[in-house]
Chains A and B, each alone.
Chain A
Amino acid sequence: AQSVTQPDIHITVSEGASLELRCNYSYGATPYLFWYVQSPGQGLQLLLKYFSGDTLVQGIKGFEAEFKRSQSSFNLRKPSVHWSDAAEYFCAVGAYNQGGKLIFGQGTELSVKP
């Protein structure tokens, strides 16, 4: 069955510290992968996406993610977190033959302490 797991429900990091949010997927077909961010009461904003090619992808707001097929992972990273990065982060997986439908992880809430 298709699934996306974000093992960490809530993470707190200090401002300026590095960040890594974990995402593991289970999908039989070739996946394409996304990270979205959601601020309270808002919709989702696309941070980055992976379809093929270079397994390290760069996104907006200084985020990057690395696709590791052997580990079925697509972890999101940022070298230095800013207070404005506090939000909910969702990993999502889709497949080429699913009409663009996505499966979302449970989300990871990021808190940033000064």
Chain B
Amino acid sequence: GAVVSQHPSWVICKSGTSVKIECRSLDFQATTMFWYRQFPKQSLMLMATSNEGSKATYEQGVEKDKFLINHASLTLSTLTVTSAHPEDSSFYICSAREAGPNQPQHFGDGTRLSIL
């Protein structure tokens, strides 16, 4: 149980294009989803928290106009990297969490984004 699917797993695109990453909870309802960015050999950096039906809450220093997050349903959240540039290249990971005080985050397999 508690499977999170993230798609695509790898994307390469030209500078200036926008890229959408999907995060789906397959067998549970995710009232909260999280988006992280991870640089090589480093820990996870939380970018934003999204609750279903609400606007995402971004961490300090994360550009909300660059990283658009939508959480329109209890099983789907999307991250759109707008007008991507080489410095946006990274490993992006989503996680999903059910409602309740003792629920852990369950992670997707990540998306490797390479901007040429």
Q: Are B43 and A101 in contact (CB under 8 A)?
A: no
| Chain B minimum-CB-distance residue to A4 | B43
Q: Does B93 contact A (CB under 8 A)?
A: yes
Q: Does A14 contact B (CB under 8 A)?
A: no
With A42-B110, A44-B93, A104-B43 already in contact, the answer to whether A96 and B101 are too (CB < 8 A) is: yes
| Chain B minimum-CB-distance residue to A52 | B102
With A104-B43, A106-B43 already in contact, the answer to whether A99 and B49 are too (CB < 8 A) is: yes
| Chain A minimum-CB-distance residue to B38 | A38
Number of residues from A at the complex interface, CB < 8 A: 22
B10-36 vs A: 1/0 string, CB under 8 Å?
000000000000000000000010100
Q: Are A44 and B107 in contact (CB under 8 A)?
A: yes
Q: Are B107 and A45 in contact (CB under 8 A)?
A: yes
Q: Does B97 contact A (CB under 8 A)?
A: yes
Q: Please count the residue pairs between chain A and chain B whose beta carbons lie under 8 angstroms apart in the complex.
A: 52
Q: Are B104 and A42 in contact (CB under 8 A)?
A: no
Q: How far is the CA of A49 from the CA of B6 in the complex (A)?
A: 23
Q: Are A101 and B46 in contact (CB under 8 A)?
A: yes
Nearest-Cβ distance from residue B59 to partner chain A, whole angstroms: 9
Return the contact of B105 from the options A42, A102, A105, A107 (Cβ within 8 A).
A102
- CB within 8 Å of B: which A76-111 residues: 90, 96, 99-102, 104-107, 109
| Chain A minimum-CB-distance residue to B100 | A100
A46: chain B residues within 8 A (beta carbon): 104-107
Nearest-Cβ distance from residue A112 to partner chain B, whole angstroms: 18
Q: Are A42 and B109 in contact (CB under 8 A)?
A: yes
Q: Are B102 and A101 in contact (CB under 8 A)?
A: no
Q: How far is the CA of A69 from the CA of B49 in the complex (A)?
A: 29
Q: Are A43 and B110 in contact (CB under 8 A)?
A: yes
Nearest-Cβ distance from residue A99 to partner chain B, whole angstroms: 6
Q: Does A67 contact B (CB under 8 A)?
A: no
- CB within 8 Å of B: which A39-59 residues: 41-46, 49, 51
Which B residues lie at the A interface, using CB under 8 A?
4, 6, 32, 34, 41-44, 46, 49, 51, 91, 93, 95, 97, 101-110, 112
Closest 3 CB pairs of A and B: A43-B107, A44-B107, A43-B109
